[in-house]
Structure 1
Amino acid sequence: MSFPKLATAFVVTVALAACSSSDRSSTPPAPPPEPPVEAPTFEASITRTEYGVPHIVAETWGGLGYGHGYAFAEDNYCMLITEIIRASGQSLEFFGEAGGSEGTDFIFSLVNNNADGQLEERYLSQQPEHILELVEGYAAGYNRYLRETGVDNLPETDPNCRSQDWVREITAIDLWKYFRRIQLQGSTDQGIVRDAILAATGPSDTAPAAAPAEPVSLDELRAAFASEDVGSNAIALGRDATQTGAGMLLGNPHQPWYGVGSWYQVHLTIPGEYDAMGAALKGFPKIAIGFNKDVAWTHTVSVANRFTLFELTLNPDNPLQYEVDGEFKDIVPETVTIAVREADGSMSEREHTFYHWEYGLIVNLASTAAAIDPAFAALFDGWPTARGTVYAVRDANLDNLRGIEMWVDIGQSTTVAELYDALGVIGNPLFHTLAADRNGDAFYGEVSSIPNVTEAKMQDCVTGVNTVVRALTNNAIVALDGNRSECQWGEDADAPEGSGVFGASSLPSFFTADYAANSNDSYWLSNPMMPLEGFPTTMGFVGHEGQQQNLRTQINHAMVAERLAGTDGFDASPGFTLTSLQQLMYDNRVWGAELVLDDVLSVCETLSADNDLAASACGVLADWDRRANLDSRGMQVFTEFWKALTAGGSAFGNAFSDETFWLVDFDPASPLTTPTDIDLSVPANGERVIAALISAVEALQGAGVALDAPWGEVQVLPKNGVDIGIHGGSGSAGVFGAISAGLDEGGYRNIRSGNSYVQTVTFDESDCPVADAIITTSQSINPASPHYADQSELYSRKEWVRMPFCEDDVAAASLGEPQTISE
């Protein structure tokens, strides 16, 4: 049946009216609109390639840090949380006396105090927004790994934090505290500076008399000012030094193998904005040594001054005031309290009072002075000293948190000229910088944080007993007159405001199409054909202008000269290829042996028949190949011989320069080839050689080491029950590929530092840099990881890892599908 149209309309109208009546319960309301989908705060893609190298891709700086922090935590979680505890001044609270340090806790409870937002207000408010986001993201990614894994399931590593009550999620502020501690390694956190600060216990008439200062040893001073534990080599090659005309770079930092200062390989990309690969110091969110599409860069430790002292004349009526330009200023006490976990598990507290002057802290130098000369101790002890003064320290890096921004800007540079501009923020705490680009330009610069103290100012403002200290320490310890404001650090127009450091235009640097090289001496001979001269000693008191150079500096330039001439046997054609640069790196020549071993063997021919110990050393050295290769037999004898021969040298970076020992003494006109040869016309020199040979044999026999054992069985890295032979050797003996290890039972089994992250980089006609690298310790500290020992074994075999940079190369080398993480 059908209805007429009119009836149909009626029915519809009635139905609509019914729907609009008050009875609406039979029809459900329309669902509310879906809320907009919020973008994740952090998101990143992680692709692991061969040997566990993570490639992080993100659209934002926060996401980039997030992916990096997560990947790093997978490999090294316990290392960073342990160091964050130390940087927060809580090591005694959580690790007790056995694992903590009272001095470090007091210092970092003071300098990293964030009460009332002091760090945010004073330092972080100056950071660009993208740097803050990068660090926030890193903390978030690191924390994500902890949440996913759980504290009781963390891998057992060294250091180990599984199931520990001090493991917690970290904040970005925790990371900034850690960064700050690293920035202060060459100054306030240097052992003798830290000890001098803690020894200043207040005016003698208002505070208990301090216990007599325990003198530091010469060995401690050497470790502070000329340590083999942190060094490096670098070679930057311009178009005139390479066979292809492209720039080329060798980066060979001799950083610690464990903990603070050790390396992590990573590739970080924000498409169109940032794309850099290389190595980050563990726990840092940026590439420190590495390369991008157009530029490769590296650093070597610079032993320039990072602090100076000031002698302040006290108000005779108030020992908490000092005089400047005839007016008195206050010295302000600040007491710090730290928590201590006692052996029985109970908690206690300890206090220490620090004393602030306008630019830093008051110090007591008695202990350091005693190491220089015991008669000096009394001159520097007390509050006041016998001259009515106290000493104070000003640290060029105390307020320097500019480094993260600087290294990110370096990673974005497209030429070495742009890299130099990035250095201008002076965020670099203590490194020379060397770089090369695809255009064939090379660069060297000591563009770092150095007190703005000119040579003229030192002549005017270092007076009295302080002139003697400056001379005896080879300019390492400089104490200025604090009574005159003109003796304060200067201010360059292109330096960070109020920093008191030199600006980039005042610091030594050059661009070249030839080459630049540095092995921890000063800027002076970074290219011997174009020496940098006329700069103050504050910019490099080790190997300063006209001074003897260390043996690694000498062999560095010698090897470069031989390659440029084509006389090294690597390649008949002059100039560098990536292959010959790698051969140079792994050649393991021992420059000390090249200087003296022929003369030592001449002395051996004069030995009396009953001198069995020296004769046994002579026999091994005569057959030794003068290398530090795995199959070299005798490197251990020369290592201990050289150690004994050079014992008692200066603590302050002066090279072995005994003028009675050398046949040809050091000549500033021939600084890379002198001194050389032993003066055997002096009977005492022959006796000295024989005594050092005997000392070497006794040391090795005492450690149970055969004199003629292969070096690869003597110097080893134990990993999962396997001894991995490590080539390279003592930098002080002139081994370019320096490895720092002490002689223990069974050999050199406790490697502390040396060849760490090594990279060789050049460029071809493609957009993809050609980069081979190795990280000697491998990526992970987890013994269960496949990347715990894999690169260590490659290094042992003198192999390299090709670093995939472009997208297709990353995909080809991938160990699996990319992982996307977000929150």
Structure 2
Amino acid sequence: MRNLHRLTLAALLGLSITACSDSSDRSPSLPIEPPVEPPVEPPVEPTFSAEIRRTEYGIPHIKADDWAGLGYGYGYAYSQDNFCVTMREVALASGRWAEFTGDNVDRDLLSRYINGTKEEFTANFFEKLPQRDQELITGYAAGMARYLDETGVDNLPDGENGCRGEPWVFTPDRIDLMMYLRSIALQASTGQGIVRDAILAVRGPDALQDASAKSLQVRSGLKQDLSTAGRAMRPAESGSNAIALGSDATQNGGGLLLGNPHQPWNGSGRWYEAHLTIPGEYDAAGASLQGLPWIGIGFTRDVAWTHTVDYATRFTLYEVPLNPEDPMQYEFDGEYRDIVETTVSAQQLLDDGSLETHERTFYSTQYGLVLDLGGVNPAIGGWPTFAGTLMTMRDANLDTGLRSLRQWVEKAQATNMEEYRQALRYIGNPVFHEFAADRDGGMFYGQISAVPHVDQAKLDECLTGIGALVASVTTNAFIGLDGSRSACEWGEDADSPEGTNLFGLDSHPQILGTGTAGNSNNSYWLTDATQPLEGFPVVFGWMGHEGNQQFLRTRITHQMIADRLAGGDEFSETPLFDQETLKTLMYSNRVHGAELVLDDVLQICSEYLDGPGADPSSAAALAETCEVLTNWDRRVNVESRGAQVFTEFWGGIRNTYGSPYQNVVVSDEFWAVDYDPADPIATPAGIDLTVQANRDLVIEQLLQANQRLTDAGVALDAPWGEVQYLERNNENVPIHGGAGTMGVFGAISASLQDGGYINPRAGNSYIQVVTWDESECPIADTILTHSQSVQPDSDHYADQTKLYADKRWVRFPFCEEEIQAAQIGETLILEE
């Protein structure tokens, strides 16, 4: 690793050299005066200063005396590994992507509307951040800029994840970085593709249509279209598991935490490990998403925390009646208000190298941007809709970025669970459930993210018109309220963050205690399966809301917790958890879907093959398929043989009966034991063998699974590690874990292609198991499944991936003596 030494500026004293000459016309000598000493300049204090040390697996430990220096060191260290990943996102968020590349000018125009000009964004957003936050972001951008300046555009990494010579590489400043950080908070709302498309589809009143021309035949297709749209509304690659354990659940009486986010393995959704320290003020280790200047999931000397994606409501649609005489006005409380027009411009690079200016007008109401949902169904699109109305939306996360950094810093400064809980009062979390544990045996769970203040009474009163239809079809994934009445506007709590209409801290579902909490992306309802959280409006979590069927991954999470508390599993004869049993749970790789149905599948298969109606043309393939499943260990370990068969089989069952909004198999006929809200962890279960359609479906899907695998060139009984792997420098690194939708706790998202499930796109990513003993140092075992760097020539491109393949862990060095023992390379001192 390159060693940059501290640079000191020194004043150079010039020596006067008198040239001798024999010339007779030499000027007469002048009196010699003593030289004048130049004034002594005080030393120039560096604007930024940081120390960087790296430990095994490329983990940087950055230490600075202030926030600007901490950001500077982190921005530089991160850029050494993954500069191009964040540079690309910064360029996209800047509203200049089409200017650089010629592509996607519409995205730039929308960014220009949301953020305003750079000057407007500075005044309206950046300067409203606390000084500490401004300094950290400023330093991080300066660290990225230094790396770019030293490296040069033409020497940047090349290849798929590189940006050498790319036109979109420029020197980022703090505003460029902040625009990117803000875009992250909008990913589950205004930043969703389906929402962006609906905003950009608006063409204004010139597109006015006769509402009576929208026929009932068009509206009849609304349900199916919205079901398809629902898949687009869910964060496709995001998920996670978390388990927080207090003193009642641990063998040593201390806290214990498992963080298992399921994030993308490529792009800005990847994790990056680091340790950030300002002595006496901030000392946190763990991982950040690419380009974020703070620790997102991690631990300190006293506290550890993690998140799972939370499917609460992030925005509400509002339906407003248009003025029949003026389509640029809408009705509110019996009066008409004007729709606001805002025109923005952006430049697009043309083939001849010139720039063309594009303009677009956006329309907004008091609620926010006007949408045209005609791309979902023509009946609810246009200006107006079939009901003579207009659809608009209000986004709960438009200003969350102003509060995020403050919240994450204060979480890391907490020393116990109540202090941690109080740090959440800013509601700076855009999309996550919160989990934490501390060294004294406290634990915390909170569904404390940005949720619009719409209580159940308001929902019951205001969910009307198109909004009610949309909500019923999507099981409340989309909520549309009556925008004509002030009674339907968002409310507030006494502790709502200032200037927002979000639910305040104390209104959110939460647990503060010494017991257990676990979540695998369902709602808050069964976070403690023994004491459900109930009585909250659906906006706090429409996915798996109170009384609804739960994910298979949720169910196996709580079954494993219950078994471990009772000592009823194979991990240890001693009840309760310790660090080793929690790590074993993480890597257990059970397939809960198989535990529920495989015995019935094999019985159906056997009876079919032994019966008179078996098709001779497919009997051999079916017999082979069922034999492989019979011998399969019902896990997705690298040595498991047959997991691919069940993966494809269960995918076929889900395609038949899967719910696009609840992510579970829903059927009145398929299950032998139907879902029971009073027993949500154990039900539904089994296949109803008395229903011939179920038997036919099983045989059909077994044969289709065989065919898909055969077509892909995958042997049915090949070891899972030879079928699911990550390609790294001409080496196939086996990846254990499997599809979360079939009930695998350690979820891996990978699609079948020629040769297998190659190069998973997401899943287990940064995993941490953290606890404490009597020493001052936290005990953190971690793994970064995709490894630290995206660059193939890095030593840290696949090193942790290979550890993961062997179910190993990294003991994260936190205290000074641990860092010194694990340090690789020289200490780097950066100053500017």
**Could you tell me the TM-score, scaled by structure 1's length?**
0.93
Structure 2 CA distance for aligned equivalents of residues 26 and 310 of structure 1: 88
- Corresponding residue number in structure 2 for 1:582: 583
Secondary structure of the corresponding residue to residue 803 of structure 2: helix
Flag the 1:73–1:205 CA change in 2: closer, same or farther, 3 A.
Answer: closer
- Corresponding residue number in structure 2 for 1:712: 721
Structure 2 CA distance for aligned equivalents of residues 407 and 268 of structure 1: 13
Structure 1 CA distance for aligned equivalents of residues 352 and 810 of structure 2: 49
- Corresponding residue number in structure 1 for 2:534: 533
- Corresponding residue number in structure 2 for 1:774: 783
- Corresponding residue number in structure 1 for 2:8: none
Secondary structure of the corresponding residue to residue 636 of structure 1: helix
Cα deviation for residue 205 of structure 1 reads 5.3
Structure 2 CA distance for aligned equivalents of residues 750 and 794 of structure 1: 17
Superimposed CA distance per residue, residues 778-819 of structure 1 (whole angstroms, 9 cap, x where no aligned partner): 111111110111011111111100000001110110002311
Superimposed CA distance per residue, residues 57-99 of structure 1 (whole angstroms, 9 cap, x where no aligned partner): 00010000000000000000111111111112333333344xx
Work out whether residues 87 and 112 of structure 1, in 8 Å CA contact, stay in contact via their aligned partners in 2: no
- Corresponding residue number in structure 1 for 2:154: 152
Work out whether residues 717 and 725 of structure 1, in 8 Å CA contact, stay in contact via their aligned partners in 2: yes
Structure 2 CA distance for aligned equivalents of residues 217 and 652 of structure 1: 13
Structure 2 CA distance for aligned equivalents of residues 133 and 422 of structure 1: 20
Q: Match of 1:796, as an amino acid?
A: A
Structure 2 CA distance for aligned equivalents of residues 24 and 232 of structure 1: 85
Flag the 1:598–1:517 CA change in 2: closer, same or farther, 3 A.
Answer: same
Superimposed CA distance per residue, residues 681-704 of structure 1 (whole angstroms, 9 cap, x where no aligned partner): 000000111111112112112211
Task: Please say if 1:111 is aligned against 2:114.
Answer: yes
Superimposed CA distance per residue, residues 304-332 of structure 1 (whole angstroms, 9 cap, x where no aligned partner): 11000000011112111111111222111
Work out whether residues 231 and 661 of structure 2, in 8 Å CA contact, stay in contact via their aligned partners in 1: no
Cα deviation for residue 109 of structure 1 reads 2.5
Secondary structure of the corresponding residue to residue 272 of structure 2: strand
Task: Please say if 1:354 is aligned against 2:357.
Answer: no
- Corresponding residue number in structure 2 for 1:678: 687
Work out whether residues 209 and 383 of structure 2, in 8 Å CA contact, stay in contact via their aligned partners in 1: no
Secondary structure of the corresponding residue to residue 359 of structure 1: coil
Structure 1 CA distance for aligned equivalents of residues 204 and 51 of structure 2: 55
Flag the 1:593–1:246 CA change in 2: closer, same or farther, 3 A.
Answer: same
Secondary structure of the corresponding residue to residue 795 of structure 1: helix
Secondary structure of the corresponding residue to residue 467 of structure 1: helix
Which segment drifts farther, 129-138 or 352-361? 352-361
Structure 2 CA distance for aligned equivalents of residues 42 and 633 of structure 1: 55
Which segment drifts farther, 180-189 or 610-619? 610-619
Flag the 1:95–1:733 CA change in 2: closer, same or farther, 3 A.
Answer: farther
Task: Please say if 1:274 is aligned against 2:282.
Answer: yes
- Counterpart among 27, 46, 50 of residue 52 in structure 2: 46
Q: How many residues align?
A: 789
- Corresponding residue number in structure 2 for 1:624: 632
- Corresponding residue number in structure 2 for 1:514: 515
Structure 2 CA distance for aligned equivalents of residues 156 and 673 of structure 1: 51
Flag the 1:603–1:303 CA change in 2: closer, same or farther, 3 A.
Answer: same
Structure 2 CA distance for aligned equivalents of residues 157 and 52 of structure 1: 21
Structure 1 CA distance for aligned equivalents of residues 532 and 41 of structure 2: 67
Cα deviation for residue 654 of structure 1 reads 4.7
Secondary structure of the corresponding residue to residue 55 of structure 1: strand
**Aligned ranges for residues 795-814 of structure 1 at < 5 Å?**
795-814=804-823
- Corresponding residue number in structure 2 for 1:395: 395
Secondary structure of the corresponding residue to residue 744 of structure 1: coil
- Counterpart among 203, 210, 217 of residue 201 in structure 1: 203
Structure 2 CA distance for aligned equivalents of residues 222 and 256 of structure 1: 20
Cα deviation for residue 277 of structure 1 reads 0.1
Structure 1 CA distance for aligned equivalents of residues 226 and 787 of structure 2: 34
Q: Match of 2:173, as an amino acid?
A: T
Task: Please say if 1:298 is aligned against 2:306.
Answer: yes
Structure 2 CA distance for aligned equivalents of residues 344 and 679 of structure 1: 66
Structure 1 CA distance for aligned equivalents of residues 301 and 579 of structure 2: 17
Which segment drifts farther, 121-130 or 25-34? 25-34
Structure 2 CA distance for aligned equivalents of residues 127 and 338 of structure 1: 27
Work out whether residues 744 and 750 of structure 1, in 8 Å CA contact, stay in contact via their aligned partners in 2: no
Task: Please say if 1:555 is aligned against 2:556.
Answer: yes
Superimposed CA distance per residue, residues 618-656 of structure 1 (whole angstroms, 9 cap, x where no aligned partner): 111111110011011111111111111110422212521
**Could you tell me the TM-score, scaled by structure 2's length?**
0.92
- Corresponding residue number in structure 1 for 2:10: none
Work out whether residues 135 and 285 of structure 1, in 8 Å CA contact, stay in contact via their aligned partners in 2: yes
Cα deviation for residue 350 of structure 1 reads 3.7
Work out whether residues 550 and 655 of structure 1, in 8 Å CA contact, stay in contact via their aligned partners in 2: yes
Structure 2 CA distance for aligned equivalents of residues 469 and 291 of structure 1: 42
Work out whether residues 339 and 348 of structure 1, in 8 Å CA contact, stay in contact via their aligned partners in 2: yes
Gap runs ≥5 in structure 2: 1-28
Cα deviation for residue 499 of structure 1 reads 1.6
Query: Identical aligned pairs, as a percentage?
Result: 52
- Counterpart among 89, 95, 99 of residue 89 in structure 1: 95
Flag the 1:304–1:55 CA change in 2: closer, same or farther, 3 A.
Answer: same
Flag the 1:103–1:576 CA change in 2: closer, same or farther, 3 A.
Answer: farther
Task: Please say if 1:257 is aligned against 2:265.
Answer: yes
Secondary structure of the corresponding residue to residue 646 of structure 2: helix
Superimposed CA distance per residue, residues 353-390 of structure 1 (whole angstroms, 9 cap, x where no aligned partner): 2111113100112222x3xxxxxx42x12211222210
Secondary structure of the corresponding residue to residue 804 of structure 1: coil
RMSD of equivalent CA atoms: 2.2
Cα deviation for residue 392 of structure 1 reads 0.3
- Corresponding residue number in structure 2 for 1:64: 70
- Counterpart among 625, 630, 643 of residue 635 in structure 1: 643
Structure 2 CA distance for aligned equivalents of residues 618 and 57 of structure 1: 58
Flag the 1:39–1:236 CA change in 2: closer, same or farther, 3 A.
Answer: same
Which segment drifts farther, 699-708 or 482-491? 699-708
Structure 1 CA distance for aligned equivalents of residues 768 and 268 of structure 2: 20
- Corresponding residue number in structure 1 for 2:449: 448
Flag the 1:689–1:49 CA change in 2: closer, same or farther, 3 A.
Answer: same
Work out whether residues 230 and 474 of structure 2, in 8 Å CA contact, stay in contact via their aligned partners in 1: no
Secondary structure of the corresponding residue to residue 260 of structure 1: helix
Flag the 1:228–1:629 CA change in 2: closer, same or farther, 3 A.
Answer: farther
Superimposed CA distance per residue, residues 130-151 of structure 1 (whole angstroms, 9 cap, x where no aligned partner): 1100000001111111111111
Q: Match of 2:396, as an amino acid?
A: A
Flag the 1:663–1:41 CA change in 2: closer, same or farther, 3 A.
Answer: same
**Aligned ranges for residues 67-216 of structure 1 at < 5 Å?**
67-97=73-103, 101-115=104-118, 117-204=119-206
Cα deviation for residue 440 of structure 1 reads 0.1
- Corresponding residue number in structure 2 for 1:246: 254
Task: Please say if 1:480 is aligned against 2:470.
Answer: no
Structure 2 CA distance for aligned equivalents of residues 694 and 667 of structure 1: 31
Cα deviation for residue 26 of structure 1 reads 2.9
Structure 2 CA distance for aligned equivalents of residues 110 and 285 of structure 1: 26
Cα deviation for residue 29 of structure 1 reads 4.0
- Corresponding residue number in structure 1 for 2:13: none
- Corresponding residue number in structure 1 for 2:739: 730
Structure 1 CA distance for aligned equivalents of residues 561 and 59 of structure 2: 31
Structure 2 CA distance for aligned equivalents of residues 153 and 560 of structure 1: 51
Flag the 1:505–1:145 CA change in 2: closer, same or farther, 3 A.
Answer: same
Secondary structure of the corresponding residue to residue 360 of structure 1: coil
Structure 1 CA distance for aligned equivalents of residues 303 and 779 of structure 2: 11
Flag the 1:810–1:220 CA change in 2: closer, same or farther, 3 A.
Answer: farther
Work out whether residues 715 and 749 of structure 1, in 8 Å CA contact, stay in contact via their aligned partners in 2: yes
Secondary structure of the corresponding residue to residue 786 of structure 1: coil
Superimposed CA distance per residue, residues 574-600 of structure 1 (whole angstroms, 9 cap, x where no aligned partner): 011111111000010001001100000
Secondary structure of the corresponding residue to residue 538 of structure 1: helix
Cα deviation for residue 349 of structure 1 reads 4.2
Cα deviation for residue 469 of structure 1 reads 1.9
Structure 2 CA distance for aligned equivalents of residues 791 and 232 of structure 1: 20
